[in-house]
Amino acid sequence: MPETTQPIDGGRSANGRKKGGKEPKSIESTMEVRYRALVEQVPAVIYTDSAENIFETLYISPQLKSLTGYDPEEWLTDINLWNRIIFPEDQERVIEEYTRTYTAMVPSVSEYRITTRDGRIIWVSDETRLVRDRKGKPLFWQGVMVDITARKRAEQIQGITYRISHAVISTTSLEELYTSIHSILGELIPIQNFYIALYDAADDLISFPYYIDQYDEPPTPGKPEHGLTEYVMRTKKPLWASQKVFTQLEEQGEVEIIGTDSIEWVGVPLMVGERLTGVMVTQNYTEGVAYAQEHVDLMEFASTQVAMAIERKRDQQRIADALEYNKTLINSSSLGIGTYDTSGECILANESFLKILGTTRDQVLGENYNQSKIWKKSGMLDAAREALASGNETRKEIHTKSAGGKEIWLDCRFTPFTSHSEPHLLLSVDDITISKRAEVDLKIYAARLEQSNRDLQEFAYIASHDLQEPLRKVLAFGDRLASKYGDLLDETGRDYLKRMRDASQRMQTLINDLLSFSRVTTRAQPFDVVDLNSLAQEVVSDLEYQIDRTHGYVVIENLPVIEADPTQMHQLLQNLITNGLKFHQEDTPPTVLVTAQILDSKCQIQVKDNGIGFEEQYLDRIFKPFQRLHSRQEYEGSGMGLAICRRIVERHSGEITASSKPGVGSTFTVTLPIFQTIGERAYVQ
């Protein structure tokens, strides 16, 4: 960002943090060494700015290196480093926020993106507050910078899911839906050139209903050729193709040049379950505008939502077209029209009116609606009187039977008018029986849509399952690299290799946990007789290594026999006991006590430990996926264990909660029915 000409306190640049400078005397106190030693253990970047100028940094903790890749010394000596690493689109806003904070001397929290030394774009939360002495004199600005990339990514994914789902409802056509999808994804991914290709397997045809490109015109529908789009269709896998990758595929005979050659090309398959419905593509022709892995990941995730959205919209449009067709058929015939004088006697009726009502002209012309049983029973009489009294048209749908006994729905309009200075009534009747039946069909379709949404739960299982094979290869080749070439690597190389293997192991754990989470409903077993006492002993036996390693102790009191899924009960107890063993206090061997009691028709199981505990304000948070109260460096894990427990308990129509006190321990309470009332039953003595 260019230098701001307006100085802050003696000419310091408002958009560049002035580094170094003379530190306040309060910072040079005897507590400085202790203070810095303390903050350098915090999993965040801690910094101190001058009280006179918030843009003058006096100290920044070493955690800066792991967050940004830059050393604290670089930060303190390079005046414009902070400016340069702020994402260009965020620079102006962030500088304004900091200037406003300094002027008002109030705390602030700013969230913005930065570019790390290795080119990654991450999100940070930067919180700043003014520290004063006991007399209220400003001493310095204290700041904390935390990596919130994961949260932002989750918000982006959640936002994409919601907005694409909402677009299905808010748009009136497939063309509008395609445009909305382009707009939604364009806020997160550089997709100036974007197209959606749809595949009709029945006719083996590929079409391009949405195609935005700065060079090429939309291809005409036809048989699949041998381009990159068709390559993704064949492999059913995402493809991130640079010019080098494209050349390799071309040399291998996998693809041919079709259209203008792009610098980068990203395509993801559109899948509904196991069925390929098309491909979603973005490509770039401009040097300097590059895609990142996060863009490819977002495209891949969004592809499932897009595929389902297009499928739902196409179904909706087919139904809407059917309804419009029915409406056209009805409107092609003249409306039934009848007029009534001030006394309520019919003075005119056309043929359509007679046909719709299934009556004769003599019957209608001799009838007064004030004495008609049908008018009274159906509400037509009240609607007619309301229209005459208000002078405004009244509309009412009538469900009745024709003279021949046929059940019909009528759309009736009661319009008052004056003839010969006397109030009259015009009744327009439209037979809407077909459209009403279509509404019933819509409700059935809505139920099917609900089922399709439940099928989306399979997504986590499928995605996690498909990730396992490439991850196994990463782990295998990492092991081979370490064993065969480890001695050839320098210290930095070995460090990089270790980080890669550690990250791969964490990914493996996460995938396994995702699979476990998904399998609670997608791979569940029928309920059966389960002896919780025997099951708990098996769990303890399985955890023998962890118990020995932590010098822990697990006590299983008498547990009952209930009706449940044996595998899921094993996982439930294992997760809860493992929690007690893992989150133990330093220098204190963990003790886990498992007890149970019968409460009427339910069984209450308690797993109590003497671990570190937690604040109960976080009670709801701990049962959500990927939620952690501690850093990975403190305690390993993926944050899925208790989420899996909760899902298992809910599948068994039970409840799970916890009570805890920091430094004392936690008690997890699970309440389950002794007998299950759904699914396959098992007899429990």
Classify 344 as helix, strand or coil: coil
- The torsion defined by the Cα of 55, 57, 58 and 60, in degrees rounded to 10, comes to 150
pLDDT given for residue 683 in this prediction: 41
Q: Is 522 exposed, middle or buried (0-12, 13-18, 19+ CB in 10 A)?
A: middle
pLDDT given for residue 629 in this prediction: 67
pLDDT given for residue 4 in this prediction: 31
CATH code, residues 333-437: 3.30.450.20
Pick the closest to residue 294 from 119, 415, 416 (CA basis): 119
pLDDT given for residue 14 in this prediction: 36
| Confidence (pTM) | 0.39
Pairing mode, if any, of strands 56-60 and 18-19? Answer: parallel
CATH topology for the 7-147 domain: Beta-Lactamase (3.30.450)
If you ran DSSP here, which 8-state letter would residue 30 be given? Answer: T
pLDDT given for residue 145 in this prediction: 94
Those residues of the chain that have pLDDT short of 70 are: 1-37, 39, 288-289, 323, 326-334, 403, 449-469, 471, 505-525, 626-638, 678-685
pLDDT given for residue 6 in this prediction: 32
The residues of the chain that CATH labels 3.30.565.10 are: 524-685
The residues of the chain that CATH labels 3.30.450.20 are: 7-147, 333-437
Q: How far apart are CA 328 and CA 434, in angstroms?
A: 11
Residue 443 tokens, joined: 């409700």
| CATH superfamily for domain 154-324 | GAF domain (3.30.450.40)
CATH topology for the 524-685 domain: Heat Shock Protein 90 (3.30.565)
If you ran DSSP here, which 8-state letter would residue 616 be given? Answer: G
The residues of the chain that CATH labels 3.30.450.40 are: 154-324
10 Å Cβ neighbour count for 137?
9
Pick the closest to residue 91 from 115, 74, 69 (CA basis): 115
pLDDT given for residue 327 in this prediction: 47
